[in-house]
Structure 1
Amino acid sequence: MTRKIFQSMIAVVVSVLLLSLALITGVLYEHFESAMLDQMRTTASFVEQGVKEDGMKYLDEMSSSQCRITWIEADGTVKFDNRSDPGTMENHADRAEVKEALENESGTSIRRSSTLSEHTLYYAKRMQDGTVLRLAMSQRSVLFLMGGMISPVVFIFLAACALAGVLSYRVSKKIVKPLGSIDLQHPEQVETYDELSPFLQRIAAQNREIRSQMEEIRKQQQEFSMITENMSEGLFVVDRNYQILSYNRSAVRIFGMAPESVPENLLAVNRSEGFRSVVDSALKGRHAQENLELDGRVYQIIASPVCQQEDALDLVGAVILTLDVTEKEAQEQYRREFTANVSHELKTPLTSISGIAEIIRNGIVRPEDIPHFAGKIYDESQRLITLIGDIIKLSRLDENQVPMERESVDLLETARDVVQQLASVARKNGVTLVTNGSHGVVNGVRQVLGEMVYNLCENAVKYNRPGGRVWVDVRQAADHVELCVKDTGIGIPAAEQGRIFERFYRVDKSHSKAVGGTGLGLSIVKHGAALHHATIHVDSEPGEGTAITLTFPAG
């Protein structure tokens, strides 16, 4: 700004100097011309008086005069000229100054010569005898006069420019100094030119508005960061060139990246075809989603395009959301397997019942065999009722619809009741049931706890060998209660132990058909343990038996 002010002031000074020089030269030129004309009038009066007194003799004496003197007859014939021979001169009757003098007693004219850079001033006066006395003087042109003055003019001009430069520099610095000292953060507190006050007040108002907007932006950014950083879902925000603009900690964790080495390009985060396809679709303006398996877990990748306006096609980027759907996928798989297993388990007894009923309807059964077939129908019906009952129990446990009236339950007393209920089944299978331990009280749902112990003991009896034993032990500790059901049965292979609590899963399917059951008992135990915040531990060896331990928080 200082430079511009300096240049402007110098330009003004130079322009003023040049204009002043031109005006002064013009004024002086006009003054000199007027003075010369007055001098010629005076000289003409003297010459007229001399001619009256001495005639031609006086004019001869004026031959060396600086003025050119010409005496002209009324008809324009030249009688005398102190510079030329009158006989060789042409008639002057058509000269403007001569005509004017004959008419008005005096006349003037100026004839300019561009080649000689001068002009001639003529003054003519009519004398009493009718003749005309004319005087002529040459005068240099303005340009010639200025050319002659060039040296002093240039010196004066340069001196004036130098002085103007120094003064302009100091003045421009002085003008700019208050502007340079303005505090843009608090412009209203600065003392400067009155003309700048509206401008500074506007800056102050804009500063307040900007601070308010920035504070609002910071607040929104903090809220956004707080929300995204506490999300369990992974989040990426990218531009149209796949460059990562924002991400959260969950995204870093899910994709196994180090927080300090997150790549700039999203495609470097995961190079799988499915991931790239989802991102490409979003950056083409289409919502897309895909499941991706990472480190044994299943994640759903949801990509949505981001546009400047809702109806605009000008994409600015995309939002990539990563959800952990491992449990959801597992539940969906369990649901499909459960549906298939239930269909199979229901179909078997229903087919048997339908077949027996068809035989009886067709009269093929002998009267003495009807009780046998009726018994088969009853057994299959009971199997159906038991299966449906177990399914209902599981459904209620899944949906937390069991009666939640908790009370203090003694597991040793519960175990004794269960052993008494299974005594006849144990005798039939040649298995001895024994209850040991101390009283252990837990806070829980009595019905569910009873079903859990019953299912564990029933399995221990069914999958035992003739002459085998089953021990039900209860132990009270300081902060927990343990219930262990141990048998001398067929045992469970280590590879199968992780699946025995799945619905309808059977380790030995051929043996399971022989002993019956719905295949839902251990699933009920698992859900009941979750309801009571208990843990399950399985210890088993094929051919040596199984021990399943439930650990409950002390009631």
Structure 2
Amino acid sequence: MLDRSIGEFARFVVIALVTTILGFSTGHWWLALCAGLTVYLFWILWQQNQFDRWLSNGRRGPAPTSFGVWGDISDDFYRLQRRHRKEKQKLHAMLRRVQDSTSALREGIVALEDEGNLAWWNPAAEQMLRLRPDDAGQPLVNFVRDPRFVEHMYQRVVLQKTANQEPITLPAPGDDSRILQMEVTRFGQDEALVIVRDITRLHNLEQMRRDFVANVSHELRTPLTVIAGYLETLQSSGQAPRNWDRPLAQMSEQTTRMTSLVNDLLLLARLETSERDSGRDKVSVRELMERVASEARALSGERHALTVECDEDCILTGDSGELHSAFANLALNAVKYSPDGGPIELRWYRDDRGGHYAVKDCGIGIDPVHIPRLTERFYRVDAGRSRESGGTGLGLAIVKHVLLRHSASMSVVSTPGRGSTFTLNFPAHKLTATTSA
């Protein structure tokens, strides 16, 4: 840039000297100098005007041919224009490839701008959401009016909250027979991406499984009750042959275990089908822990040293029966899997993140590889030992569903051979101090 300025200044000096020398030959050097500088000025303005007209016409064609500093500017600008044009072509080609690839996806992709307005979508989203080309620029919530999705959009796009936000499952707009799963992801300043999946088949299979488990479990209750009644009658009558005592005892034990399994399956089915976060009972944590401790001591038969520690009594809002089931499952598991004489600690404490119910035992412990699968139905770390203890394999699955309905979570810390600590973490908005309650 400095070299160009020096060159233009040198050109100006040369014109001034030449016109001055010519002016001395005529005796009017100052008139000649003014005329030469005027011509130079008009020449510069003419080049500027040509360049400005080229810019005003949308930079069509090559830049105008000029000399001097404006010629250098025109050449540089034209080179930048060609480079920009090549980059633009590359971006367009890349955009076409992205659009072609997303058009082949079975999942719907919707791009949003300006805090929720439709910018672009692929054919799958057009089919699932029933969009039309002239819908661009309109808010997505005009087409998906489910209140849960509207709230989900508000949390993700407007408030920019991403923590603990699961995808939304809802019927397809205008077609209740199809079930869609929608997830909103924010990026950039005012942009978001919506992923739409058709999960109708999975939803129907899951509903079929739930109905089957619930119906079969319900139908098994009556025959199990009859069998248990006759077995109890035979055992208490004293008229059965002596060699029948052991078979009757084993049959009674297995009937009891089967009844527990059916009851747990029915409870799981109810937890899955009922609405989340529906409980509004006011449950005293201290009283609940004392009740659970009494049940654990009854199961232990004084074989374990069980202690209860409640740092701060609180009122926990939720379903009292479900909360009792979750608290008791952890305590009874600690009794079942701890050796005789081992200590078991039930503790409640509160911090900035909320309230925490921890059950610590000194049992066999759990290998870290098993921890992610503990809440799966019928998953057993040690199948033989679990059956000996009389477990159904559904306790932690029930705990998981109870926690989901109470916006809570569970964490597990365990070392094989040294015991485990299961902690239920409840959010602060579920807690109320006993004094204010």
TM-score for both structures, normalised by structure 2? 0.47
Larger Rg: 1
TM-score for both structures, normalised by structure 1? 0.37
Higher relative contact order (CA 8 A, sep 6+): 2
